[in-house]
Structure 1
């Protein structure tokens, strides 16, 4: 397995994800009638999407998103998954991510949403905040987890979940995708 292109690092983190939600994807979305588990291509994790969510790819990033928007203009909840070979501790990658998103115009970090945490029983690093997208306040949470590729190489996996701030269903569904993450590569 080779490192995946990581389009979400840097100041484009929120912008790329927000564009994903508002625009068409480079591949036809694949919606499922029941929850579906996906092995993320080129990233050593799998995630489970809620029933009805679409699987798609844009700019090389794997994503799942809600079939329905919320608010006016409508914003579709989504989770984007990317990864890269780790070049240091998870905390360093998390701190760098927090620093990069802080530079995004309009980014408002959550006071208690930054720092080391766990995702299930897996060590993780969380960066969260809000940003205005065309008049709709959007909550965004980036959770970094460590994983290991089939060849034993350590990875940092970035899970970026977004939903309209007032969309309680979207918030619950994106959280379910995050907590479904399996960091052990299949096979």
Structure 2
């Protein structure tokens, strides 16, 4: 998949939203991680690692890396998930955040979280957070998108980490947020 050089291409943002929406209630093969220790995942072709509970399923779809809560946990109608996308970019996290804010506004029923927008940090690096809720087939879903840069020089990436979970799924929310917080960014270069 070609990686556009434009800031937060509509394709990347649309892909992230589409993958998160497609995962609502999705079935699929179980990831046989076994054990009780969290699992560190190297995200394919994106310079980050994330740590997830051992029973979360992992996979890729259309260039996005995804982690999904196991079947039978949390909400019956929406499985908590985290989607990671990224592209090489010279744009700042503020520019990325502005593009993400504009993109999520096109999600039908999107209601921004007034306290969940703006500059933040992730893995000790400047980041931009966009959060809100929307309706997915009758289930209220909360979504948090955090954009982070892998560095300032040539070859730096802007990486989006998107956590989605049913509003009434406290466990899924806590686990998805923990995955976001676990991110380890590889410096550019």
Q: What is the TM-score of this pair, normalised by structure 2?
A: 0.85
Deviations 1:164-184 (CA, angstroms, capped at 9, x unpaired): 001110011001100110001
Match of residue 41 from structure 2? 38
Match of residue 180 from structure 2? 178
Alignment pair present for 1:17 and 2:45: no
Instruction: Judging by fraction of residues, say which structure has more strand.
Output: 1
Provide the rounded CA distance (Å) in 1 between the counterparts of 2:10 and 2:27. 17
Provide the rounded CA distance (Å) in 2 between the counterparts of 1:31 and 1:81. 21
Alignment pair present for 1:57 and 2:60: yes
List aligned pairs for 1:143-154, cutoff 5 A: 143-148=146-151, 153-154=155-156
Provide the rounded CA distance (Å) in 2 between the counterparts of 1:145 and 1:42. 16
Q: 2:69 aligns with which of 61, 66, 70?
A: 66
Contact 2:51/2:179 (<8 A) preserved: yes
The alignment's C-alpha RMSD in Å is 2.7
Alignment pair present for 1:90 and 2:59: no
Equivalent position SS for 1:22: coil
Provide the rounded CA distance (Å) in 2 between the counterparts of 1:155 and 1:163. 26
Contact 1:13/1:101 (<8 A) preserved: no
Provide the rounded CA distance (Å) in 2 between the counterparts of 1:182 and 1:133. 30
Match of residue 136 from structure 1? 139
Gaps of 5+ in 1: none
Provide the rounded CA distance (Å) in 2 between the counterparts of 1:157 and 1:54. 21
Match of residue 168 from structure 1? 170
Equivalent position SS for 2:45: coil
**By how many angstroms is 1:22 displaced?**
3.1
Provide the rounded CA distance (Å) in 1 between the counterparts of 2:11 and 2:183. 18
Aligned residues: 181
Gaps of 5+ in 2: none
**By how many angstroms is 1:31 displaced?**
3.9
